[in-house]
Amino acid sequence: MAIVSEGGPASVPRAGRFRWMIVGLLFAATTVNYIDRTMLGLLAPGLGKELGWSENDYGNIVVAFQFAYAMGFLVMGWLIDRFGPKIGYALAITVWTIGHVAHGFAGSVTSFMAARVFLGIGEAGHFPSVVRASSEWFPQKERAYAIGWVNSATTVGVILTAPTLWLFMTWLGFGWRETFIYTGLFGVVLLALWLKIYSNPRESGKVSEVELAWIEHDPPEQVARIGWGRIVTKREAWAFAIGKFLTDPVWFLMLFWLPKYFSTTYNVDLKVVLLPMIAMYILSDIGSIAGGWLSSKLIHNGRSVNFARKVTMLISGCCVLPLLFVTGVQNMWLAVLLIGIALAGHQSFSSNILSIPPDMFPKRAVGSVIGLGGFAGGVGGMIMSKSTGLVLDATHGNYTIIFAVCTVTYFVAVLAIHLLSPRLERAKI
Mean pLDDT of 296-318: 96
Q: What is the mean pLDDT of the chain?
A: 89
Residue 375: alpha-carbon gap to chain centroid: 13
Whether residue 221 is predicted with pLDDT greater than 70 in this model: the reply is no
pLDDT for 13: 55
Give the mean pLDDT of 238-258.
91
Do 252 and 381 contact (CB within 8 A), yes or no? yes
Q: Confidence class of residue 269 from pLDDT cuts 50, 70 and 90?
A: low
Q: Is the pLDDT of residue 156 over 60?
A: yes
Binning pLDDT at 50, 70 and 90, where does residue 206 land?
confident
Phi, psi of 199 (to 5 degrees): -165, 175
The residues spanned by each domain of the chain are 3-420
Work out the average pLDDT over 210-234.
Answer: 79
| pTM, entire model | 0.84
Residue closest to 19 by CA, chosen among 208, 218, 165, 184? 208
Cα-Cα end-to-end distance for the chain: 34
Q: Do residues 121 and 68 touch, judged by C-beta distance below 8 A?
A: yes
pLDDT of residue 128: 94
pLDDT at 55: 67
Using 50, 70 and 90 to split pLDDT, how confident is the model at 1? very low
Q: What is the pLDDT of residue 261?
A: 83
* DSSP secondary structure, 274-307, as one string: HHHHHHHHHHHHHHHHHHHHHHHHHHHTT--HHH
Name the superfamily (CATH) of residues 3-420: MFS general substrate transporter like domains (1.20.1250.20)
pLDDT recorded at residue 230: 85
What's the mean pLDDT in 303-317?
A: 97
| Sign of the dihedral through C-alpha 48, 375, 340, 387 | positive
Q: Is the pLDDT of residue 139 over 70?
A: yes
Mean per-residue pLDDT, 127-151: 92
Distance CA 122, CA 124 (A): 5
Question: How far is 156 from 29, CA to CA, in rounded Å?
Answer: 11
Give 270's pLDDT tier (boundaries 50, 70, 90): low
**In sequence order, which residues have a C-beta less than 8 Å from that of residue 187 and are 6 or more positions away?**
32, 36, 93, 94, 96, 97, 100
pLDDT reading at 187 higher than 90: yes
CB atoms within 10 A of CB 294: 21
Question: 4 - beta bridge partners?
Answer: 9
Angstrom distance (rounded) from CA 136 to CA 96: 24
Contact 49, 174 (CB under 8 A): no
pLDDT digits (tens, 9 = 90+) for 24-61: 999 999 999 999 998 988 888 788 888 988 767 887 88
At residue 63 the predicted structure's pLDDT band, cuts being 50, 70 and 90, is: confident
Q: 310 pLDDT exceeds 80? A: yes
Q: Is 345 exposed, middle or buried (0-12, 13-18, 19+ CB in 10 A)?
A: buried
Residue 3: which pLDDT band, with cuts at 50, 70 and 90?
A: very low
pLDDT in tens, 319-339: 999 999 999 999 999 999 999
> Which class for 9: exposed (0-12), middle (13-18), buried (19 or more C-beta within 10 A)?
exposed
* CA dihedral (172, 175, 176, 178) positive or negative: negative
Q: What are phi and psi of 16, to 5 degrees?
A: 95, 145
Rounded to an integer, what distance in angstroms lies between the CA atom of residue 117 and that of residue 346?
27
Give residue 287's pLDDT.
96
Distance CA 302, CA 362 (A): 23
